[in-house]
Chains A and B, each alone.
Chain A
Amino acid sequence: MNQPRGTVVIDTERCKGCELCIEACPPDVLVMSTEVNETGYRYPLLQSGCTGCTACRMVCPDQVFEVYRFDARGA
């Protein structure tokens, strides 16, 4: 049951900190960091519970999300 359904890779260095992904995440598992990247923007961090729905990747203007799903629950 604790097997995650999905995960994302976040290219934090390209993030501009607009926070659109935080609002868009249906399971609400993205939070903003307190640290900043090289260009001075805060960036999203992932908590456990990702479903791999790609909503973050849909809304991200800077395309910093790459989405993976785990196939443990069948196709």
Chain B
Amino acid sequence: MAQDKSYQAWLDMLNAAQAQIADNEEQLGALDAHAGDGDHGASMNRAMGAVQEAIAGMQGEGVEELLKKVSGNLLRIDAGAIGPLLGTLFRGLAKGAAEGKGLNAGGLADMFRAGLDALRGQTKAQPGDKTLMDALVPAVEAMEGAAASGANARSTLAQAADAAAAGAAATTDQVAKYGRARNLGEQSKGAADPGATSLSLMLRGFADAVRDLLDDDDDPETPNA
């Protein structure tokens, strides 16, 4: 795929992620209200605002620069843990882009693996701890599985979004190990983790954007992967 198409795809992906968050702001706040302070929807909106500012400041420098700017802006917002966590994820994605990973199954899997590795440098949270890791880890594994089976980018992101949504839904029955919800112990059960939910919404946005932008010529399956 041509580099310019890849750049356009990332712009569309980020915009679609913002739309998903905006459409679900109230739900995210309500999830957070179960065991937290109810401001996760507002925090995520602020995070997506920081993403928009990064986009507005771009002059077509490319995917790596775009993701770097997104990361830098996310690290600047005051949104508790969300700024550092998403900022770190995007720093890892930018690193993947710097290594020339493209918008194909293998490239996406490598980029998101780099994002996950970067996050692991900042938090010890594991799947099952009721954090965004419960959405991100299965999403990365789904991408790697899709890449191994020769899927195209659209199918890879769709599978990742499905896996993230399932992972986020499964947090409903988990006891929180991180954040303010941790202090509630068993009472933190009964609502999905807001961070895992917003990450799965962002991935859904990524998947929808790429589905709408690319056609079979842009996005062939990669049987040799």
A pairs with B: no
Binding site for A on B (CB under 8 A): none
Binding site for B on A (CB under 8 A): none
